[in-house]
Amino acid sequence: MNKTLLITGGNGFIGSNFLHYFLKKYPDYQLINIDKLTYAGSTANLREVDNFENYHFIQGDIADEVLIKSVFSIYNIYGVIHFAAESHVDRSIEDAASFIESNVLGTTVLLQAARESWEMKGELATRRFHHISTDEVYGSLGSFGKFHEDTPYDPRNPYSASKASANMLVKSFGNTYGMNVVISSSSNNYGPMQHEEKLIPRIISKSLKGESIPVYGDGKNVRDWLYVQDHCRALDLIFHNAKPLETYNIGGGNEITNIELAMKICDILDHLKPENHSCKELIAFTKDRPGHDRRYAVDDTKLRQNLGWEPAMDLDKGLKNTVEWYVEQWEQVTQQSL
């Protein structure tokens, strides 16, 4: 049977990597991508799959109730995989409003439209709503321990507060209406097509431009890096196999401090572009992010044991692939402007 899935935020970093992966793996699914094309959404990210017969694009806002309800009435949506969100912590610290609008209200509009449509068809318990969430909802760790699926939420910045709110709304639709919802909470993703505002692409682009590379505070905050393709494989397994109302954590198994990560990227860049500035000399410690979470790490034993997933990408190789991808993009742009 041809199934139609609604993907939200497919022009962003993870959504576009997921669409590449899913469109090729499942030619029998029809995928509808709804994306507002904010500053973070890029049509270039989907150039390669744009004219696939099983892909359709709608430019629109998930918080637009009329639009979302009409999507559910026109298409027979079998499942929703919900990526769309304002995703950058620093921006949420500057102004939280768009995070509430897209992440909290937008998620609620989607849940409500899916519920109404699926209830009418008598399929509320069988069709699936998958919310893509983050380990940031659990708060900040000290030197030891990891977040588990049942760790209480303790979001500490407006972005993570909006994602925790969205998670709770998703769970409430499962509990209250018997909707078939699942949540996956992953650690920091990296790989091609990520926006330059995020740490890894920022280090690369600043270095290529010969500009100072800002490392916040003492640079010893720890993140656990997950290659985006490994995340996509986990999402595939979770969407197809998780039980209703389950949460799965997804980790990379690559905990590293920001400064050690910056050094690794600089080593790769200095090797690839020896004619450029020394990347390491561009690193500058700056004022810390307010309320900066110290360490994130997730325990993803449940995903490994129940669904047989494990990350395939080694951090050094993943970083090399990522740096090479950005350097190639950079070279294309600079050649075009000559």
- Nearest residue to ligand TDX by CB is 134
Q: Which stretch binds ligand NAD (CB under 6 A): 8-16, 70-78, 284-292, 310-318?
A: 8-16
Q: Could you say whether residue 189 binds ligand NAD (CB under 6 A)?
A: yes
Integer Cα distance of 322 and 206 in angstroms: 15
Q: Could you say whether residue 14 binds ligand NAD (CB under 6 A)?
A: yes
Among ligand NAD, ligand TDX, none, residue 13 binds (CB under 5-8 Å by kind): ligand NAD
C-alpha pair distances (Å), 271 with each of 10, 168, 282, 327:
34, 46, 16, 12
Does 267 qualify as catalytic in the annotation?
no
Integer Cα distance of 168 and 296 in angstroms: 20
Q: Looking at residue 46, what DSSP letter applies?
A: G
Q: Which residues bind ligand TDX (CB under 6 A)?
A: 87-89, 134, 136, 188, 198-199, 202, 214-216, 221, 223, 258, 289
Q: Which CB atom, from 15 or from 124, has the smaller least distance to ligand NAD? A: 15
Minimum distance from CB of 80 to ligand TDX (Å)? Answer: 19
> Residue 331: which residues within 8 A CB-CB, separation 6 or more?
none
Considering only CA atoms, which of 256, 196, 182 is closest in space to residue 226? 256
Does 135 qualify as catalytic in the annotation?
yes
Q: Looking at residue 100, what DSSP letter applies?
A: I
Among ligand TDX, ligand NAD, none, residue 216 binds (CB under 5-8 Å by kind): ligand TDX
The single residue listed with the structure tokens 């090479």 is: 324
Q: Could you say whether residue 188 binds ligand NAD (CB under 6 A)?
A: yes
Minimum distance from CB of 212 to ligand TDX (Å)? Answer: 10
Which among 35, 135, 293, 300 is annotated as catalytic?
Answer: 135
Does 300 qualify as catalytic in the annotation?
no
Q: Could you say whether residue 229 binds ligand NAD (CB under 6 A)?
A: no
Integer Cα distance of 122 and 257 in angstroms: 49
Query: Residues, the chain, total?
Result: 338
Minimum distance from CB of 187 to ligand NAD (Å)? Answer: 7
Question: Is 222:212 a contact under the CB 8 Å cutoff?
Answer: no
Catalytic residues: 135-136, 159
